[in-house]
A = this chain, B = another copy of it.
Amino acid sequence: MNAGRTARDRARAELTLEIKDTARRQLAVEGAARLSLRAVSRELGMVSSALYRYFPSRDELLTALIIDAYDALGAAAERAARHDQDPRTNWQAVCRAVRAWAVAHPHEYALIYGSPVAGYSAPPSTIQPASRVAMVLLGLIRQAHEAGILAPLDDAPAPSGVLAEQIAGLAASAAPGVPAKGLTRAMIAWTQLFGMISFELFGQLVGSVDPSEPFFDHATAQMADFLGLAPAGQPLS
């Protein structure tokens, strides 16, 4: 089978993966700004010019790594959100999955959520993969709302002005039907989640809440309350 797939095709696909793996390993040592084609080729036992058969430039290799990282993290988040779990459990599971991936792949996390690489600007092809985690989180809120177990958040202030429009636009495209207050809090919780993970990985928590897993779990639980996700025990309808 594998119609039309020649040995050349297979070798090419395999080497493309090997190049990316090697580059990922180098990321850990040198950081994205110093990712070097020559070093990658050296580790692979190839001549540096050979890499140009696979990636037209260093930046294209970086882009491939970025997309892979967003996709790997997005997939981890998607796996954690299960239809047979209540939204609050899902929320915590997704938060833990995101953190677990970040802790396991700190340099890839830094590549996508750290400071932008100087002289590199991410192409549009990264946008969709970049949104996967946010989509999962918004999906949970929507799941809770549709199941009728998203708290009305009566004492939360409603967004107004420009923010209200932005939230409405977001609802239209990603979470139809979800009330603005819930969506706004979802955005806040989203930034809190990644703020916490970045602080942990980038060393800002050293000396305060370190090790930080207990803080992380406590914070995601409080954010679940903040989001109006009912405590577990309220099964989906």
Contact = CB atoms under 8 A, between A and B. Distances in A.
Contact of A113 (B122, B157, B191, B204): B204
Contacts of A50: none
A120 to B, nearest CB: 9
Contact of A218 (B31, B122, B163, B170): B163
A93 B203 CA distance: 26
A219 B188 contact: yes
B34 A214 contact: no
Contact of A185 (B32, B184, B222): B222
A215 B163 contact: yes
A117 B119 CA distance: 16
A180 to B, nearest CB: 11
Interface size class of A (residues with CB under 8 A): 35 or more
A98 to B, nearest CB: 13
Given A113-B202, A114-B114, A208-B187, A218 B29 contact: no
> How many copies of this protein are present in the complex?
2
Chain A residues touching B, majority SS: helix
B184 A194 contact: no
A209 interface: yes
Contacts of A127: 207
A180 B175 CA distance: 36
Interface of A: 29-34, 110-111, 113-119, 122, 127, 130, 134, 155-157, 159, 161-163, 166-167, 170, 184-185, 187-188, 191-196, 198-199, 202-204, 207-211, 214-215, 218-219, 221-223, 225-226
Given A134-B208, A166-B214, A191-B199, 16 more contacts: A31-B33, A31-B117, A31-B118, A31-B119, A32-B115, A33-B34, A159-B214, A162-B211, A163-B209, A166-B209, A166-B210, A185-B222, A187-B208, A187-B215, A195-B198, A198-B198
